[in-house]
Amino acid sequence: MADDLELARHAALAGAAVGMRYFAALTALSREAKPDGSVVTEADRAVEAAIREVLMRARPDDAILGEEAGQTGGGDRRWIIDPIDGTALFVDGDDRWLVLVALEEADAIVVGVAVVPAQRRIWWAQRGGGAFCAAITDTGVRAERPIAVDRRADALPGSRFGVIPTHGLTEPEREMVARLGAVAQAVPWHTHAGLLVASGELDLALQTRGEVWDFAATSLIVAEAGGCFSGLGGQTRPAAGPALFARSPALHAAALRQLTGGYAP
């Protein structure tokens, strides 16, 4: 039987393969609007179905929560799926969309996998086992390497941060970004900004909105790379709302104070 990390990687890569088939034929892909105004496509549902099939076959007694099909099953173990994280990027032909798979056990995320299929990259982590990234080739995952956050000084002024999403921010979200941008430098990102924190390329990542499936995998990858994650209220368990990734506890605390109005350089 495959271990949980191996299974999560296999499921995420199976979903990524389905997503790439749709990504290669975007002009024929129909788009729909969810009740909250966000975009959903046939690709989202097909990717989630492919991931669910892998997980259900290997772990029939586990619960599964997916963005598109909701939750099935019960128990102390729950797989959490975001089939296409960044559907707006996907339908625009932007290669930064992800496939996210995580495992929650006894209310803690213990496995997280993030695939960026169009960039042929994969990141993963297992609680207590560190964080890694690798290339995806036609013959499998290659050039695996451990990743770690940047260990520079923890001054918030001048630190680099990425904002997720890059477009379509509401006025309150723009105000949130502006508060952090008053002391830190907002920079563009070529891969999910939280993953860039984990690999040492960014200091902070501010995700202005999300659900548990948006954060489950990436929060563990950042934590296992030596960084930290929380909602803006300080809660460390992935949940709905805005969230912050940081390369160190001190920088994380300073950024949270800035975002909530209590920072003094």
pLDDT of residue 35: 61
Q: Are 151 and 233 in contact (CB under 8 A)?
A: no
What CATH code is assigned to 160-259? 3.40.190.80
CA count, 13 A, side-chain hemisphere, 119 = 18
Range of lowest pLDDT (37-41, 133-137, 236-240): 37-41
Answer whether residue 224 shows pLDDT above 70: yes
pTM here is 0.93
Distance of alpha carbon 4 from alpha carbon 202, whole angstroms: 29
Distance of alpha carbon 102 from alpha carbon 1, whole angstroms: 18
Residue ranges covered by each domain of the chain: 4-147, 160-259
pLDDT single digits (tens) 99-139: 999 999 999 999 999 999 999 999 999 999 999 999 999 88
Cα dihedral 10, 16, 18, 23 in deg (nearest 10): -170
pLDDT single digits (tens) 148-157: 999 887 899 9
Distance of alpha carbon 252 from alpha carbon 229, whole angstroms: 8
Q: Phi/psi of residue 77, each to 5°?
A: -110, 130
Answer whether residue 264 shows pLDDT above 50: no
Tell the CATH superfamily of the 4-147 domain.
Fructose-1,6-Bisphosphatase, subunit A, domain 1 (3.30.540.10)
Type of residue numbered 70: G
